[in-house]
Chain A
Amino acid sequence: MKKFMQVGAVVCLLATSAFGAPAEKYLHVRVTNTSDKEVVSVNVPLSLAEKVIPAINHGKLNQGKVSIDNADMKDVDLRSILEAVKNSPDGEYVTIESKDQDVRVAKSKGNLVVHVTDKSSKEKKGGQKVDVIIPMSVVNALMPSDKHEIDLVAAIHALSDSGEKLMVTVHDSDDDVKVWVDAESGSNEPSAKE
């Protein structure tokens, strides 16, 4: 009986380690150039990014954090703004409609949503449309308490904890860019995840 329980415990431990480990997530970037008919796909395991980024010490990127000059921020307390957005209910916060571009910033289902439509070059090239959907947990992780830096590693960590998402799409007459996160190592076209 004792032996049976020991075997059972070992089986339980193995099962926990096999099924309990979170699946690896991948950051995918796909750029499709319609005029050159060229497709570039990059797939990066998030665990790889999490280890590699702190090893890069170049320019403003040090130990996985990008320092922001005061001049860049123009005395805007981004952290306070994000904190305010975090604690606010879902809704549309900014809507700008102008001759050149439409901008919409909103919070929806735990995501920060930004839509930009550039109309200035529409006549010539067909205009540009940018859609960004970032989980609030990632946005919050990006901006630690020290407002003078962006914590990329914390953001990647938050990204791997968040669900599968189509995060950025940029579309203009020449290029189609998609950035998304999922658990597939290949670069299959993302489905509508949001």
Chain B
Amino acid sequence: MLLVGKILLGAVGSVAAMGAVVSSEGFVNVKVHEKKPEGVHLHIIAPVLLMNVGLHFVPRRDLKQAAEQVRPWLPVIDAAVEELKKGDDVQLVEVTGPDQHVKVATHGGSLVVDVTDPEDDVHVSFPLSEIDHAVHEIAAAGPTL
């Protein structure tokens, strides 16, 4: 009985430790709400670590175009992310129209994008600390220079 208890404790401890490692780099939060009847209601909260690991398994050919587009701008992205990480929360861009609202801001160490229009509500939040890592990962997928 004592042995079973130890095994259970070990298993719970391992799961907790794994959870701590997986969530240590923050979470990506994606919410999509289609307003049409029977539209999609999607809410994903995924650990960034899993996303970064997942990027390794995306076929390189699928990331080739994105890699080529992002590569020239890597120094700019790096500089921007570094400064945004250091700074206070700021609403970078806001577009308000009669039937749409777009907001790009930094909030609590994440880059947050909110889009509301007559058809959809979309919310994406990505930890700033991991943006450069993900972007470099995508850039590395292109053909070697």
Residues of A near any B CB (own CB < 8 A): 24, 26, 36-45, 47-48, 51-52, 54-56, 185-187
Task: For the A-B complex with A185-B88, A185-B89 known, give 16 more contacts whose Cβ atoms are closer than 8 Å.
Answer: A24-B88, A37-B97, A38-B97, A39-B95, A41-B91, A42-B92, A45-B87, A47-B86, A48-B80, A51-B82, A52-B76, A52-B79, A52-B83, A185-B90, A185-B91, A187-B94
Q: Is B96 an interface residue (CB 8 A)?
A: yes
A55 with B91: CB separation less than 8 A: no
- Which chain A residues lie closer than 8 Å to B86 at the CB level? 47
- 7 closest A-B pairs by CB: A55-B75, A48-B83, A38-B97, A55-B79, A185-B90, A41-B94, A55-B76
What total of chain B residues lie within 8 Å of the partner, measured CB to CB? 21
Q: Is B49 an interface residue (CB 8 A)?
A: no
Interface centre among A36, A38, A44, A55 (most CB of B within 10 A): A55
Q: Interface on chain A toward B: helix, strand, loop, or mixed SS?
A: mixed
B80 with A41: CB separation less than 8 A: no
Q: Interface on chain B toward A: helix, strand, loop, or mixed SS?
A: mixed
A180 to chain B, nearest CB (A): 15
- Which chain B residues lie closer than 8 Å to A48 at the CB level? 80, 83-84, 87
A71 to B129 Cα, complex, angstroms:
45
Q: Is B98 an interface residue (CB 8 A)?
A: yes
B97 with A51: CB separation less than 8 A: no
A54 to B83 Cα, complex, angstroms:
13
The residue of chain B having its C-beta at the shortest distance from the C-beta of A29 within the complex is B93
Q: Is B132 an interface residue (CB 8 A)?
A: no
In the assembled complex, 13 residue pairs joining A and B whose CB atoms fall closer than 8 Å, in A order, are A26-B90, A38-B97, A41-B95, A41-B96, A42-B92, A43-B90, A43-B91, A47-B83, A52-B76, A52-B79, A55-B78, A185-B90, A185-B91
